[in-house]
Amino acid sequence: MRWREGRRSSNVEDRRGQRSAGGGGGMGGLGNLLALAPFLLRSKKGWLILLALAALYYFGGNLFSGMPSTESPSLGPDAQTAPGAPAADDEVAEFVSVVLGTTEDVWGQIFQQAGSQYSAPKLVLYTDAVRSACGLSSAAVGPFYCPGDQKVYLDLSFLNELKKLGAPGDFAFAYVIAHEVGHHVQNLQGISAKVQQARMQADKVTANRLSVMLELQADCYAGVWAFYANRDKQMLEPGDVEEGLRAAAAVGDDHLQRRAGRAVSPDAFTHGSAEQRAYWFQQGFSTGDVNKCNTFAALSGQ
């Protein structure tokens, strides 16, 4: 990618080296939610609050939820240092900042053309574990978006996981960031809330299918970003699109299930197959049209 001359975003929050308050293993926000449940269920209003909290916890979009952990999160006391911007000589963090900047430019233009204003998310860099409005998360969950605070969370060690999955390269990493920003766009559009409400009223298989549709749309939105990054900023180099397609396929549910030694179970998919993820990324990239990313209409009859 040709990224070095790109605009650096001011929305990167560097928490690397800090430690998040632990306790409760990997439960995080879920443990708090379960503790509140007996009190909230006593009234109709409490039910509504519980549903809202459940939506907040469960709807933090992450690139792939089935990846086995290769590292143990280190949880300890809260750090006292305030988060800041990445150091100027930190090349990987600089790359993240430039990619985030391009998503701001692309989606800002798309929203403006639609007669609205784009509110850009913050991107938090962290090490090992982080606390967000969606609870306590370890790096093992992969990059994720939390709608509660409208932030994307990213541990840079994920670069190594991409390599292990057979998807190395700077554009593959850029696709990951663009996918998570795609979840932010869905949140702003009100799509995320509607899908989550439908998921909470559905059986497990149907809920999984709705999750797949949401994730594939975020892949398509990542493709739309790539279209404009190439057309308007000439950032792409030969082989970059192939990197993006490999990255999309590498985090397909079927690929991850096989990698974990499990049989492929389509009913258990929450993010889509390798073929689906690559297809919808390509759909966004080849058209540059957000309206071509309606995965819900395209997949509802399958």
Over the stretch 10-29, which tens digit does the pLDDT of each residue have? 999 999 987 765 533 333 34
| Banded pLDDT at 279 (limits 50, 70, 90) | very high
Output the CA angle 220-224-225, nearest 5 degrees: 115
Instruction: Supply the pLDDT for residue 56.
Output: 43
pLDDT beyond 80 at 73: no
Output the CA angle 300-182-289, nearest 5 degrees: 70
Instruction: Supply the pLDDT for residue 59.
Output: 46
Over the stretch 115-138, which tens digit does the pLDDT of each residue have? 999 999 999 999 999 999 999 988
**Mutual angle of helices 240-250 and 204-233, in 10-degree steps:** 170
CA distance 298 to 56: 27
CA distance 152 to 178: 10
| 180 CB-near residues (< 8 Å, 6+ apart) | 61, 62, 63, 143, 144, 145, 152, 154, 218
Which stretch of DSSP H or E encloses residue 53? Answer: helix 44-58
Q: What is the bridge-based pairing of β-strands 151-155 and 129-132?
A: unpaired
Is there a contact between 77 and 19 (Cβ–Cβ < 8 Å)?
A: yes
pLDDT beyond 70 at 36: no
Over the stretch 96-113, which tens digit does the pLDDT of each residue have? 999 999 999 999 999 999
Over the stretch 177-193, which tens digit does the pLDDT of each residue have? 999 999 999 999 999 99
